[in-house]
């Protein structure tokens, strides 16, 4: 009997944490309330990480199978490793999580129900956490909106949440869909968005599920560089796919485009916060109280992106080095 779900956990990031391992990810998988004998676990990393799991989690044998995809620092990249692991999966559903992500307790069951109900791809809200702050803290909620909020589409109050993109640390796909549409292997951070554009053009049904929540680890330095990098990559992303969002008039005026685009996103964030707060379970009154902090955080994130865009225009090589995590 084959497993129903294959979970790919990437425990390797050549730019940020090399072969660092975060046991919170595995801890959360044991708390899913889903039969683990129907789950295949594939780690991208090192044999030492498997030894670590065996030592700290004797119950890991409850999984259908635990496999390893070895990361070669010289000849593999984040997206290439994900594609390689996908070809080795046996489950009809393939779910992705990174080793700095802690899935919520209903993450796996929500994924399975979404695919069984007809979705080809399922996504959900991503939040932030640190060693001291949980995802429901004011600072983590405010920081997550400009980083991850774009996965949630703009919609009316009475309409169900809809997907607007996907993130590689919180997405699940039918295996056949994934193998037909793998991640692009370019050394860029936005390949998840490119995959989303491709899937939509191919007619795939992408469903947003509020219960499919994860909390992504972060540090302030990492968050600052992430948003600077997004700005720097704007021009590259726009040239990579015709579906990349763009403003026709400002895009022709290089000197003012960064200001017009990024400050426009601050305005969008101010409205989007009241959509995002519903899917992450923040009450309306609390959302109103947090609104000034949300605006402040959005302005900081978009200013960093604006700086990244100007740096890409003025000193592209220096900006590329600074944008690395």
Q: Is residue 151 part of a domain?
A: no
pLDDT at 117: 96
pLDDT at 14: 47
Q: Is residue 251 part of a domain?
A: yes
More confident residue, 101 or 53: 101
Domain identity same for 212 and 239: no
pLDDT tens per residue, range 18-48: 434 457 788 898 889 899 999 999 988 777 7
pLDDT tens per residue, range 69-105: 887 665 577 888 899 999 999 999 999 998 889 999 9
Domain stops at, among 153, 183, 218: 218
Domain stops at, among 192, 218, 244: 218
Domain identity same for 232 and 313: yes
Domain identity same for 174 and 237: no
Domain stops at, among 218, 244, 260: 218
Domain identity same for 41 and 174: yes
Domain identity same for 59 and 205: yes
pLDDT at 288: 97
Mean pLDDT of 313-323: 73
Q: Is residue 176 part of a domain?
A: yes
Domain identity same for 169 and 244: no
The percentage of residues in the chain with a pLDDT greater than 70, rounded to a whole number, is 87
Q: How many domains does the chain contain in total?
A: 2
pLDDT tens per residue, range 172-197: 999 999 999 999 988 788 899 999 99
Q: Is the pLDDT of residue 137 over 90?
A: yes
pLDDT at 18: 40
Average of per-residue pLDDT values in the chain: 88
Q: Is the pLDDT of residue 250 over 80?
A: no
The 3-class SS string of the chain reads CCCCEEEEEECCECCCCECCCCHHHHHHHCCCCCCHHHEEEEEEECHHHHHHHHHHCHHHHHCCEEEEEECCCCCCCHHHHHHHHHHCCCCCEEEEEECCEEECCCHHHHHHHHHHCCCCEEECCEEEECCCCCCCCHHHHHHHHHHHHHHECCCCCCCCCCECCCCCCCEEEEHHHHHHCCCCCCCCCCHHHHHHHHHHHCCCCEEECCCCCEEEECCHHHHHHHHHHHHHHHHHHHHHCCCCCCCCCHHHCCCCHHHHHHHHHHHHHHHHHHHHHHHCCCCHHHHHHHHHHHHHHHHHHHHHHHHHHHHHHHCHHHHHHHHCC
Mean pLDDT of 143-147: 97
Domain identity same for 185 and 226: no
Domain identity same for 228 and 101: no
pLDDT at 40: 94
CATH number, domain of 203, equals: 3.90.550.10
Residue 282 belongs to domain spanning: 220-325
pLDDT at 122: 98
pLDDT at 249: 61
Domain identity same for 253 and 293: yes
Domain identity same for 234 and 255: yes
pLDDT at 20: 44
Domain identity same for 278 and 188: no
| pTM score over 0.85 | yes
Lowest-confidence region among 36-50, 225-239, 303-317: 36-50
Domain identity same for 209 and 226: no
């Amino acid at each position: 009997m084959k497993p129903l779900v294959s979970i790919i956990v990437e425990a390797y990031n050549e730019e940020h944490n090399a072969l660092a391992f975060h046991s919170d990810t595995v801890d959360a998988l044991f708390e899913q309330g889903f039969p683990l004998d129907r789950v295949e676990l594939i780690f991208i990393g090192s044999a030492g990480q498997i030894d670590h799991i065996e030592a700290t989690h004797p119950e890991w044998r409850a999984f259908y199978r635990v496999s390893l995809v070895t990361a070669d620092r010289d000849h593999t990249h984040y997206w290439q490793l994900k594609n390689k692991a996908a070809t080795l999966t046996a489950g009809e559903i393939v779910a992705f999580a990174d080793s700095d992500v802690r899935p919520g307790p209903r993450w796996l069951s929500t994924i399975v129900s979404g695919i069984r109900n007809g979705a080809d791809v399922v996504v959900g809200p991503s939040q932030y956490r640190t060693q001291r702050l949980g995802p429901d803290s004011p600072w983590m909620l405010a920081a997550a909106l400009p980083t991850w909020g774009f996965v949630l589409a703009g919609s009316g109050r009475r309409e169900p949440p809809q997907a607007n993109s996907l993130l590689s640390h919180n997405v699940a796909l039918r295996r056949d869909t994934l193998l037909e549409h793998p991640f692009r292997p370019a050394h860029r951070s936005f390949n998840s968005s490119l995959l989303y554009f491709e899937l939509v053009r191919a007619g795939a049904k992408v469903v947003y599920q509020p219960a499919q929540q994860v909390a992504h680890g972060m540090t302030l330095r990492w968050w600052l560089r992430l948003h600077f990098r997004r700005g720097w990559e704007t021009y590259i992303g726009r040239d990579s796919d015709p579906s990349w969002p763009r403003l026709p008039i400002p895009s022709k005026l290089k000197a003012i485009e960064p200001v017009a685009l990024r400050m426009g996103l601050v305005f969008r964030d101010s409205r989007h916060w009241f959509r995002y707060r519903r899917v992450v379970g923040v009450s309306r009154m609390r959302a109103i109280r947090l609104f000034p902090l949300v605006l402040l955080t959005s302005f900081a994130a978009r200013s960093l992106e604006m700086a990244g865009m100007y740096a890409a225009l003025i000193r592209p090589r220096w900006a590329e080095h600074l944008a690395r995590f």
